[in-house]
Structure 1
Amino acid sequence: MIFPYNHKYPSITDLRRKAKKTIPKFAFDYLEGGCNEELNLSRNENDFDDIFLKPRYLQQTEDIDMSTEIFGIKYQAPFGISPIGLQGLIWPNASEILAKAAAQNGIPYTLSTVSTASLERISEVSEGTAWFQLYHPTEDKLRDDILKRLKYAQYPVLVVLVDVPSFGLRYREIKSGLSLPPKLNISNILQALLRPSWGIKTLQHGIPSFATLKPYMEKRMNLSQLGEFMNHTFTGKVTLDKLKVIREKWKGPLVLKGITTEEDMDDAIRLGADGVIISNHGGRQLDAGESSVNSLIRLAANPLYKGKLKIMLDGGIRSGVDLARAHAVGTDFSFMGRPFMYGVGALGNFGGHHTINMFKAQLYQIMQQVSISKPTDFPRRRLNTQEY
């Protein structure tokens, strides 16, 4: 099977190297940074290295089929695109580029509440296939209005983010002025001037803003007022009581993102959630936490959760090999954020298609190598190193 992509960039490492040359430093740091000393950011990637697969070379297998069904929807591959805030700041029009590419290649794109395209626009360009991640507002009226808009736009899946009771201390963002309230400084301006293609495209598409939230914001807010609005609108814990209200109002599939413990998993099942995304917010919230994949290994192995809801993973995946490892230890579906932003930063409008097909090609090759025909077979190919 052929998956067309630019062979000059066969890996995420290649895309990242190119993207770093096209995206201004302050925006690239926002994309890449973790919280505090960025230890959990590193663990997210490095802990995949401890998962091993075993091949079966002398066994006949059926034709490979990477398609995966989640919530009654059949996708062409077992992965999707994670939500990222301020996507249009990192690369102009990134939200639309990725949403279109995802729809055309049969995978889900997830729009963040704090991204730079409106939920209505993304529903249109994704042909109704995009998911939506909700930052739970402090005001019930705002929450209810967003849910109403999602229903009208016919979003198939609602993802509620639960792991931001406070904004993480991200030192790169503090230094660059991208923490709240954001600050435009001379260093950022100079960095933008050094990336002319980014600047030209920003002029073409306009200064990025929180498009979904525009109806709730006063016009012509300055940066200080914007910071106050964001802090006031999204500060506070997402409690089980708040989630119960959403469960009552939202009749479609409901997913909780940011689950890493048995206690929260138990609550998600009691709530009646249809799925969870095991995630530590890309290492951007709790530096003393464990990697997302290690949380997955522990929770997916618990027999109490088997068949109760879909268990998905977000965090640290950088190749088709990592996707295979994630399936081997129990994910039903996986999401990636930074890799796709490297893709659009490196290759612009073609970046989404390239990155999707690159991951498909890598995963397909691994399935050939270990002799399996579908992603759900990967657990049979996990090597238990404790046996040796």
Structure 2
Amino acid sequence: MTNDFLFDARYPSVDDLRKRAQKRIPKFAFEYLDGGCNEDVNLKKNTTEIREIELIPNYLKKHQPPSLQTELFGHIYDAPFGVAPVGLQGLMWPNSPEILAKAALQHNLPFILSTVSTSSIERIGEITEGKAWFQLYHPAKNELRDDIIKRAATSGYDVLVILCDVPTFGYRPRDIRNGLAMPPKMSMQNIMQILKKPRWAMETLKYGQPRFKTLEPYMPKNLDLKQLGKFMNDTFSGKLDEDRIAAIRDMWKGKLVLKGVASLADAEMAHKLGLDGIIVSNHGGRQLDAGESSIKPLIRIAEKYRDQMTIMMDSGLRSGPDIARCMAAGAQFTFMGRSFMYGAAALGAKGGNHTMTMLKKQLQQVLEQICCEKITDLPKYLKIE
């Protein structure tokens, strides 16, 4: 199967996929995927400020055809990007975690499963042949934390991602209006929206109502929506500190990554505690509207810690040029969440393969255009003010 076969020329950009996705899924599900927090200030800054970064081509330099291959934690991936963890994926498009995990395996890219996604640790481990990463929302009880981590290790996951940027749930007006805050509720308005999207409804009937499948072993049976909200609030504290991270570091034998780093202070703590890498992120603009976009702290953190631990980034990337910009600014790898979810919602089972093929094509063109042979050389092409 060739890359051209996987690529649907009707949707050559993430924006095209977004528009198609909006037409195919209920409004409440699309707004959960698409929106940020408060007034969406940081959501908009994320992409806008990435695109302020400029690259300088070197046209007369002798060069070989470029390669997208990138080494990360001892594994050579086919490109320097992967699928970021996304909660409630099956709400936005049924079976989307499995769609994206299968595509990631085929394209030799990392897929990160969220604790609150709609596929289980075991199922994604099976699909990806143990090559997926797992993101842990920190449980309130150590016994639950230890059991979830043990399940990830047993399922073959080599990289554990711990999340530090959700000490509290973001204030998201759309989700509140749509009944997707905790506790969630299904309104007549939501039901009417579902009736207008028959393909989404049929796929949901096929794969079942979205559930937190990783967490089901710990849930009381037959929870209603109000009880589910209480369970989630009681089960997860969301807050990480030095002691909690140190306990996980002692327990986890694989690579350990801290996601949600947005300051030099937190990067310094991650390094002090012996973490293997960090993902600079502001949770896609969904947590702190008054904060910085992700690219700003990335530049500062990469300058100081690039040679001491692996520096990665998510939030705001929507294209191959965006990936190149972030890599030039100091990231050693990148992740995207919404971009792949738009693809799955727009094209169903073909959406993961299409989006990954498209991003590879876009990034390859950037490297060819600036005459850059290797991903690791991109910082040499950064325009310095």
TM band (smaller chain): over 0.9
Supply the distance in 1 between the matched residues of 2:66 and 2:182 (Cα, whole angstroms).
Answer: 47
**CA pair 74-37 structure 1, distance change in 2 beyond 3 A:** same
Q: What is residue 355 of structure 2 aligned with on the other side?
A: 355
| Matched residue type, 2:226 | S
Task: Tell me by how many angstroms 1:58 deviates.
Answer: 1.1
Q: What is residue 119 of structure 1 aligned with on the other side?
A: 121
Q: What is residue 24 of structure 1 aligned with on the other side?
A: 26
Taking the TM superposition and a 5 Å limit, the aligned residue runs for 1:67-106 are 67-106=69-108
Supply the distance in 2 between the matched residues of 1:61 and 1:277 (Cα, whole angstroms).
Answer: 31
Q: What is residue 370 of structure 1 aligned with on the other side?
A: 370
- Whether contact under 8 Å (1:3, 1:360) holds in the other structure is no
Taking the TM superposition and a 5 Å limit, the aligned residue runs for 1:1-388 are 3-4=3-4, 5-302=7-304, 305-384=305-384, 386=385
TM-score with structure 1 setting the length = 0.97
Instruction: For residues 142-172 of structure 1, give each alpha carbon's deviation from its aligned partner in whole angstroms, at most 9, with x where no partner exists.
Output: 0000011111101010000111100010111
TM-score with structure 2 setting the length = 0.98
Secondary structure at 2:156 match in 1: coil
Task: Tell me by how many angstroms 1:206 deviates.
Answer: 0.4
Supply the distance in 2 between the matched residues of 1:264 and 1:321 (Cα, whole angstroms).
Answer: 28
- Whether contact under 8 Å (1:53, 1:325) holds in the other structure is yes
| Matched residue type, 2:378 | F
Determine what percentage of the aligned residue pairs are the same residue. 54
In structure 2, stretches of 5+ residues that fail to align are none
Secondary structure at 2:175 match in 1: helix
Task: Tell me by how many angstroms 1:298 deviates.
Answer: 1.6
Task: Tell me by how many angstroms 1:3 deviates.
Answer: 3.4
Supply the distance in 1 between the matched residues of 2:140 and 2:237 (Cα, whole angstroms).
Answer: 7
Task: Tell me by how many angstroms 1:236 deviates.
Answer: 4.2
Task: Tell me by how many angstroms 1:90 deviates.
Answer: 0.3
Supply the distance in 2 between the matched residues of 1:236 and 1:32 (Cα, whole angstroms).
Answer: 23
Task: Tell me by how many angstroms 1:64 deviates.
Answer: 1.4
- Whether contact under 8 Å (2:164, 2:238) holds in the other structure is no
Runs of 4+ in 1 over 2 A off after TM superposition: none
Task: Tell me by how many angstroms 1:83 deviates.
Answer: 0.4
| Matched residue type, 1:315 | S
Supply the distance in 1 between the matched residues of 2:83 and 2:366 (Cα, whole angstroms).
Answer: 21
Task: Tell me by how many angstroms 1:227 deviates.
Answer: 0.1
Secondary structure at 2:15 match in 1: helix
- Whether contact under 8 Å (1:75, 1:106) holds in the other structure is yes
| Matched residue type, 2:59 | Y
Supply the distance in 1 between the matched residues of 2:141 and 2:267 (Cα, whole angstroms).
Answer: 26
- Whether contact under 8 Å (2:65, 2:368) holds in the other structure is no
Q: Compare 316-325 and 48-57 and name the one that shifted more.
A: 48-57
Task: Tell me by how many angstroms 1:265 deviates.
Answer: 0.7
- Whether contact under 8 Å (2:264, 2:297) holds in the other structure is no
- Whether contact under 8 Å (1:138, 1:234) holds in the other structure is yes
Supply the distance in 1 between the matched residues of 2:149 and 2:27 (Cα, whole angstroms).
Answer: 36
Supply the distance in 1 between the matched residues of 2:283 and 2:326 (Cα, whole angstroms).
Answer: 17
- Whether contact under 8 Å (2:69, 2:77) holds in the other structure is yes
| Matched residue type, 1:189 | I
| Matched residue type, 1:306 | R
Task: Tell me by how many angstroms 1:378 deviates.
Answer: 0.6
Supply the distance in 1 between the matched residues of 2:57 and 2:168 (Cα, whole angstroms).
Answer: 44
Task: Tell me by how many angstroms 1:235 deviates.
Answer: 2.6
Secondary structure at 1:53 match in 2: coil
Supply the distance in 2 between the matched residues of 1:164 and 1:60 (Cα, whole angstroms).
Answer: 47
| Matched residue type, 1:373 | E
**CA pair 87-238 structure 1, distance change in 2 beyond 3 A:** same
- Whether contact under 8 Å (2:137, 2:238) holds in the other structure is no
Supply the distance in 1 between the matched residues of 2:301 and 2:141 (Cα, whole angstroms).
Answer: 33
Instruction: For residues 66-101 of structure 1, give each alpha carbon's deviation from its aligned partner in whole angstroms, at most 9, with x where no partner exists.
Output: 111111111000000000000000000000000000
Supply the distance in 2 between the matched residues of 1:261 and 1:10 (Cα, whole angstroms).
Answer: 35
Task: Tell me by how many angstroms 1:49 deviates.
Answer: 2.0
Supply the distance in 1 between the matched residues of 2:336 and 2:235 (Cα, whole angstroms).
Answer: 27
| Matched residue type, 1:179 | A
> How many residues are aligned here?
382
| Matched residue type, 2:339 | P
RMSD of the TM alignment (CA)? Answer: 0.8
In structure 1, stretches of 5+ residues that fail to align are none
Supply the distance in 1 between the matched residues of 2:88 and 2:353 (Cα, whole angstroms).
Answer: 21
Instruction: For residues 164-193 of structure 1, give each alpha carbon's deviation from its aligned partner in whole angstroms, at most 9, with x where no partner exists.
Output: 100010111000000100000001100011
- Whether contact under 8 Å (2:169, 2:287) holds in the other structure is yes
